[in-house]
C-alpha cells in the first residue's frame, strides 16, 4: 500500500530523517514509535507532501508520489490527522466535516459517511452546530479524525492522536481506530509517543531513533523486546 | 476608599508621563525672530488635567469591557430585544428600506450640489476598493499592504492605452479589470510561500516598487509628470463636466452593486469554502485537498480586479493620473477602511470606506489631524471592538434540533 524507500528530509541544513525505509501493507495498523525529536512527525509530513523529502522515494499503491503537492496526494486516497489536531476553530463541527469532504462530489455517500462518523463519535453529533474551537481537547481530536475520514481515505495517517488527552479518552480513541480499521478496511499508519497503547492495537511497529529506523517487528515481539521495554514502555 | 486612592495614583502617573512626553513640543516654543524662548506653562497644566480625567475614563471603559455592566448576554438571549440586523432581515422591512435607499441613491445627483456628487463618487470608489481588499484580507486572511499598486495598474491601463492607442473608457474598464487580475497573479506568485508579517512586508515593498517603476520609466509612463487630459466617459455624445460626473457616479453605483453581488456569490461557493479553510489553518486546508497555491492566486486576482476597475474610473474622473496618487498612504487608507468597518463584513467595509473618505471631506477643519484621528480610532477600536463597527456574521448552515 505505502512504501518508503530511503527517505531523507531536511529542515534547512538540519537533517531530520536519515534514510527511512518502511512498508505498510493493505489493511494493516502500523505504528511508528520513538522519542521526542526522533523524526516521527517529519516522517508523516514527508509522506503527506507538506515537508517533501530531499531524496528517496515514496510509493502509494505502486505510484511514485515523491514531491507531489500535498493537495494532490489527498486525491490519491491518503488523508492525515495532523499533529495538534488543527481543526478549523471558527467553523462549526459540521462545516469542519464538510471541509474534510472538500474533494468529493458524491452528496449521497457523503451523507452516509457523516452518519458513520456520528455513529463513531456520538458527541460530535450533539455538538454539530458548535464552533470547532469551543470543543474540548478530546472532542477536537475526535473531530480531526472524523474530518480525515470524511475524505474517504484508503490509508489514514495519524500524528499522535493521544497527545494531551485523558487516559480514558485515549483508550476510547484507540478503540475507535481499531473499529475504523476493521469496519472500513482503512489502512492506518500511526505515529505515537504512547507506545504502550499504540503497540496494543497495531499489527506491526517501527522504532525510530534520531531519524533512523532502529527496529521493526510485530507488535507483540516489540512489546517483549527488552530494549523497547526499557526505552519506550517504561516497564 | 482604597480603590479610589489607587485610581487617583494611576491617573496622576499617566498625567505626569504625558506631561513629560509632550513637554518639548507643547511647552517650549522658540521665537527665532526675537531670539527668545517662550515657556507655555499653561499648556502643561491643561495636558495634566486632561490626561488625568481621560485616563480615568479610559480605565473605567476598559473595566466595563472586562467585567461588563452586569451580565454580558450571549447572542441567543437577544431575541426579545430590538435588533437592527434582525429587523432588516425581515422581508416587510427589508424591501421598503431598499426601495427608499434606491430612490435616494438614484435621485442623489439631482438633490445636491454638483460638488457633492464628485465627493460621493470618490467615496463610492473607495467603497469598491475596500470591498476588493476585503476579499484578500477578510476572506483570504492575507495581509496585503500594496493594494494601491493594483489601483495604479488600472489607472495606468486606461491612461497609457488612451495615450498610445486612443482607447475609450468602456474598452478600458474591462481591460483595467484584466490587467489588475494579471498583476495580482504576477505579484502573487513570488509571495506564495509567505504568510503573516512577511507577506505584509513583501506586498508593501511590491506596492512601492510599482510606484517607483511608474515614476522612473519616464519614456513610457511619462514619469512623475503623469498623464493628462484623459477623456471622461461619454454617453453616446460627449458629456459636459457636470453630466460626466453624474454619469461616473452612476457607474460607480453599478460597480458597487456588482461587487457586492460577486462577493456574496463567492462566499457561498467552493472557492469561498477553500478561502475560509485557508484563513483558518493553511496546513489543515492542504490536508483537505485544497490547492493552496491556486487558492492564494485566485484571492489576489479576485481582489485586484476591483482595484483595476476603480483605477480606470479614477483616471476618467480626474482626467489626470500620476504615480503620486498611488502611495503607501493610499493602501493604508483602504486597509483602515476595511479594519475600521469590520474585516470580512460587506456592510462594515462600506461604512468604513464612507467614514474614511467623508469625515475628512466634511470636517475640513480637522483635515490636518486626520491621521491622528484615524490612529486614535484604530487604537480605540482594537481594544473595544476589534471585529470592526459592523462585525462579520458568518453564514452557517445549521442542522438538527439545536438551532442555537
* pLDDT tens-digit readout, A143-193: 999 999 999 999 999 999 988 888 899 999 999 999 999 999 999 999 998
Per-residue pLDDT at B56: 87
CB < 8 Å to A74, chain B: 287-289
3-state secondary structure of B393: coil
Judge contact between B335 and B133, C-beta under 8 A: yes
Cβ contacts of A129 on chain B, cutoff 8 Å:
396, 398-400, 402-404
Q: Is the pLDDT of residue A84 over 90?
A: no
Burial of B169 (0-12, 13-18, 19+ CB in 10 A): buried
CA distance B291 to B286: 6
Q: Where are the domains of chain A?
A: 1-76+189-235
Strands (E), B26-89: 28-31, 36-39
B283: which chain A residues are within 8 Å (Cβ-Cβ)? 50, 82, 86
- B70 vs chain A: nearest CA distance in angstroms? 24
Q: What sign results for the dihedral spanned by CA atoms B310, B314, B315, B321? A: negative
Bigger pLDDT: A96 or B404?
Answer: A96
pLDDT of residue B110: 86
Interval B299-324 mean pLDDT: 94
Q: How far apart are the first and last CA of chain A?
A: 34
Q: What's the fold here for domain A1-76+189-235? A: Rossmann fold (3.40.50)
At residue B402 the predicted structure's pLDDT band, cuts being 50, 70 and 90, is: very low
Angle, in degrees to the nearest 10, between helices B41-67 and B370-384: 30
For residue A97, which of B345, B399, B271 has the smallest C-alpha distance?
A: B399
Residue with cell 440586523: B85
Cβ atoms of B264 and B135 closer than 8 Å: no
- What is the rounded distance in angstroms from the CA atom of residue A157 to the CA atom of residue B284? 13
In the structure, what pLDDT confidence band is assigned to residue A42 with cuts at 50, 70 and 90?
very high
> Predicted confidence band at B72 (pLDDT cuts at 50, 70, 90)?
very low
- Look up the pTM and report it: 0.85
- Mutation target to probe the B interface, by most B beta carbons within 10 A, among A45, A79, A99, A115 is A99
Interface contact B291-A88, CB threshold 8 A: no
B contacts of A125 (beta carbons < 8 Å): 400
Query: Span B109-126, mean pLDDT?
Result: 90
- Closest listed residue to residue A32, CA positions, set A143, A173, A158: A158
Q: For chain A, what's the residue count?
A: 235
Residue B65 has pLDDT above 90, yes or no: no
The pLDDT tens digits for B255-266 are: 999 999 999 999
Measure the CA–CA gap between A89 and A101, rounded to whole angstroms: 17
B93/A61: higher pLDDT: A61
Q: Where in chain B is the domain with CATH 1.10.3470?
A: 92-384
Task: Give the per-residue pLDDT at B83.
Answer: 65
Tell which residue, A78, A20, A28, A9, has the closest CA to residue A48: A78
Q: Grid coordinates standing for B286?
A: 492542504
Pairing status of strand A204-209 against strand A29-34: parallel
Q: What is the mean pLDDT of residues A105-129?
A: 91
Confidence category of residue B151, pLDDT binned at 50, 70, 90: very high
Q: CA-CA distance, A74 to B136, in Å (whole number)?
A: 26
Mean pLDDT over the full length of chain B: 87
Instruction: Look at A88 and B403 and tell me if their CB atoms are within 8 Å.
Output: no
Is the reported ipTM for this assembly greater than 0.90? no
Q: Is A75 on the interface with B (CB under 8 A)?
A: yes
DSSP B24: I
Task: Number of A to B CB contacts under 8 A, please give it.
Answer: 79
pLDDT computed for residue B404 by the predictor = 40
The neighbour count for residue B171, using CB atoms within 10 Å, is 15
Taking CA–CA distances from A97, the nearest residue in chain B reads: B288
| Residue of A57 and B241 predicted with greater confidence | A57
DSSP string, B121-168: HHHHHHHHHHHHHHIIIIIT----S-HHHHHHHHHHHHHHHHHHH---
How far is it, in rounded angstroms, from Cα A70 to Cα A52? Answer: 9
Distance, in angstroms, between B192 CA and closest chain A CA? 14
Rounded alpha-carbon distances, angstroms, from residue B80 to B74, B85, B403:
13, 13, 17
% of chain A residues with pLDDT over 90: 74
Say if residue B240's pLDDT is above 90.
Answer: no
Shortest Cα–Cα distance, B181 to chain A (Å): 24
Interface of B with A (CB under 8 A): 270, 273-274, 276-277, 280-281, 283-293, 394, 396-400, 402-404
Q: Which residues pair with A5 in a beta bridge?
A: A57
Residue B77's pLDDT is 45
Residue B386, pLDDT score? 85
Q: Which residue of B has its CA nearest to A74?
A: B289
Q: Measured between CB atoms, which of B286, B289, B400 is closest to A151? A: B289
On the question of pLDDT at A46 being above 50, the answer is: yes
Is the alpha carbon torsion for A138, A143, A149, A151 positive or negative?
A: negative
pLDDT per residue as tens digits for the range B203-236: 999 999 999 999 998 888 888 888 988 988 887 7
Average pLDDT of span B152-176: 93
Does A107 or B132 have the greater pLDDT score?
Answer: B132
Cross-chain Cβ contact A95/B396 below 8 Å: yes
At a CB cut-off of 8 Å and minimum separation 6, what does B70 contact?
none
Query: What share of chain B has pLDDT > 90, as a percent?
Result: 43
Q: What is the mean pLDDT of residues A222-234?
A: 86
Please name the residue ranges forming H helices in B223-281: 241-268, 270-280
Predicted pLDDT at A216? 93
Higher pLDDT, B236 or B186: B186
Taking residues B85-100, report their average pLDDT.
78
Chain A residues with CB under 8 Å of B284 CB are 82, 86-88
Decide if A103 touches B, using CB distance below 8 A.
yes
Nearest-Cα distance to chain B for A33, in Å, is 22
Within 38-57 of A, beta carbons closer than 8 Å to B belong to: 48, 50
* Alpha carbon separation from A199 to A166, A194, B122 (Å, rounded): 18, 9, 68
CATH architecture of B92-384: Orthogonal Bundle (1.10)
pLDDT single digits (tens) B359-393: 888 888 777 787 888 888 888 888 888 888 888 88
Q: Determine the pLDDT at residue B401.
A: 46
pLDDT classification of B398: cutoffs 50, 70, 90: low
Share of chain A above pLDDT 70, in %: 100
What pLDDT does residue B369 have?
A: 80
Rounded average pLDDT over B178-194 = 91
d(C-alpha A51, C-alpha A27), whole Å: 26
Q: Which of A88, A94, A125 sits opposite B284 (nearest CB)?
A: A88
Amino acid at each position: 500500500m505505502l512504501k518508503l524507500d530511503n527517505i531523507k528530509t531536511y529542515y534547512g541544513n538540519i537533517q531530520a530523517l536519515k534514510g527511512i525505509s518502511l512498508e505498510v501493507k493493505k489493511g494493516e495498523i502500523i505504528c511508528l514509535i520513538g522519542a521526542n525529536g526522533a523524526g516521527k512527525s517529519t516522517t508523516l509530513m514527508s509522506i503527506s507532501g507538506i515537508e517533501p523529502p530531499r531524496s528517496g522515494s515514496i510509493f502509494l499503491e505502486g505510484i511514485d508520489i515523491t514531491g507531489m503537492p500535498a493537495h494532490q496526494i489527498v486525491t490519491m486516497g491518503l488523508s492525515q490527522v495532523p499533529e495538534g489536531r488543527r481543526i478549523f476553530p471558527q467553523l462549526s463541527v459540521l462545516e469542519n466535516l464538510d471541509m474534510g469532504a472538500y474533494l468529493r462530489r458524491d452528496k449521497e455517500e457523503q451523507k452516509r459517511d457523516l452518519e458513520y462518523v456520528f455513529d463513531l463519535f456520538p458527541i460530535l453529533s450533539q455538538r454539530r452546530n458548535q464552533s470547532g474551537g469551543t470543543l474540548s481537547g478530546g472532542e477536537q481530536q475526535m473531530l480531526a479524525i472524523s474530518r480525515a475520514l470524511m475524505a474517504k481515505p484508503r490509508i489514514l495517517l495519524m500524528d499522535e492522536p493521544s497527545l494531551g488527552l485523558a487516559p480514558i479518552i485515549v483508550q476510547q480513541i484507540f478503540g475507535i481506530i481499531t473499529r475504523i480499521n476493521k469496519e472500513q478496511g482503512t489502512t492506518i499508519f500511526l505515529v505515537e509517543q504512547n507506545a504502550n497503547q499504540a503497540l496494543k492495537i497495531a499489527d506491526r511497529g517501527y522504532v525510530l531513533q534520531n531519524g533512523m529506523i532502529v527496529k521493526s517487528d510485530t507488535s507483540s515481539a516489540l512489546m517483549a523486546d527488552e530494549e523497547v521495554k526499557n526505552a519506550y514502555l517504561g516497564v | 476608599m482604597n480603590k479610589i486612592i489607587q485610581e487617583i495614583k494611576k491617573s496622576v502617573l499617566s498625567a505626569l508621563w504625558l506631561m513629560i512626553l509632550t513637554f518639548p513640543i507643547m511647552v517650549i516654543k522658540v521665537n527665532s525672530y526675537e531670539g527668545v524662548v517662550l515657556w507655555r506653562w499653561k499648556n502643561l497644566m491643561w495636558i495634566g488635567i486632561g490626561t488625568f480625567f481621560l485616563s480615568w475614563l479610559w480605565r473605567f471603559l476598559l473595566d466595563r469591557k472586562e467585567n461588563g455592566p452586569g451580565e454580558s448576554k450571549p447572542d441567543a438571549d437577544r431575541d426579545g430585544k430590538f435588533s437592527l440586523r434582525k429587523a432588516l432581515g425581515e422581508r416587510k422591512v427589508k424591501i421598503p428600506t431598499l426601495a427608499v435607499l434606491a430612490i435616494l441613491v438614484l435621485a442623489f445627483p439631482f438633490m445636491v450640489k454638483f460638488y457633492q456628487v464628485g465627493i460621493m463618487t470618490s467615496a463610492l470608489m473607495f467603497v469598491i476598493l475596500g470591498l476588493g481588499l476585503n476579499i484578500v484580507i477578510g476572506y483570504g486572511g492575507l495581509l496585503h499592504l500594496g493594494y494601491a499598486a493594483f489601483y495604479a495598474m488600472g489607472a495606468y491601463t486606461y491612461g497609457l492605452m488612451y495615450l498610445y492607442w486612443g482607447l475609450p473608457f468602456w474598452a478600458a474598464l474591462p481591460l483595467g479589470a484584466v490587467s489588475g487580475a494579471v498583476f495580482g497573479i504576477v505579484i502573487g506568485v513570488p509571495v506564495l510561500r509567505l504568510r503573516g508579517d512577511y507577506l505584509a512586508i513583501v506586498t508593501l515593498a511590491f506596492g512601492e516598487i510599482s510606484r517607483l517603476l511608474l515614476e522612473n520609466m519616464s519614456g513610457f509612463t511619462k514619469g512623475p509628470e503623469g498623464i493628462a487630459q484623459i477623456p471622461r466617459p461619454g454617453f453616446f455624445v460627449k458629456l459636459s463636466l457636470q453630466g460626466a460626473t453624474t454619469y461616473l457616479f452612476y457607474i460607480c453605483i453599478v460597480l458597487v452593486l456588482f461587487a457586492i453581488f460577486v462577493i456574496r456569490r463567492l462566499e457561498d461557493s467552493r472557492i469561498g469554502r477553500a478561502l475560509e479553510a485557508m484563513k483558518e489553518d493553511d496546513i489543515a486546508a492542504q490536508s483537505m485537498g485544497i490547492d493552496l497555491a491556486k487558492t492564494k492566486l485566485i484571492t489576489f486576482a479576485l481582489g485586484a480586479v476591483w482595484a483595476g476597475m476603480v483605477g480606470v474610473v479614477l483616471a476618467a474622473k480626474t482626467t489626470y493620473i500620476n504615480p503620486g496618487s498611488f502611495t503607501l498612504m493610499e493602501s493604508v487608507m483602504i486597509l483602515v477602511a476595511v479594519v475600521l468597518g469590520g474585516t470580512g463584513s460587506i456592510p462594515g467595509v462600506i461604512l468604513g470606506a464612507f467614514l474614511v473618505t467623508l469625515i475628512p471631506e466634511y470636517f475640513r477643519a480637522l483635515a490636518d489631524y486626520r491621521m491622528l484621528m484615524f490612529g486614535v480610532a484604530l487604537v480605540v477600536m482594537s481594544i473595544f471592538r476589534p471585529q470592526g463597527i459592523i462585525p462579520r456574521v458568518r453564514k452557517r448552515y445549521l442542522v438538527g434540533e439545536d438551532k442555537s
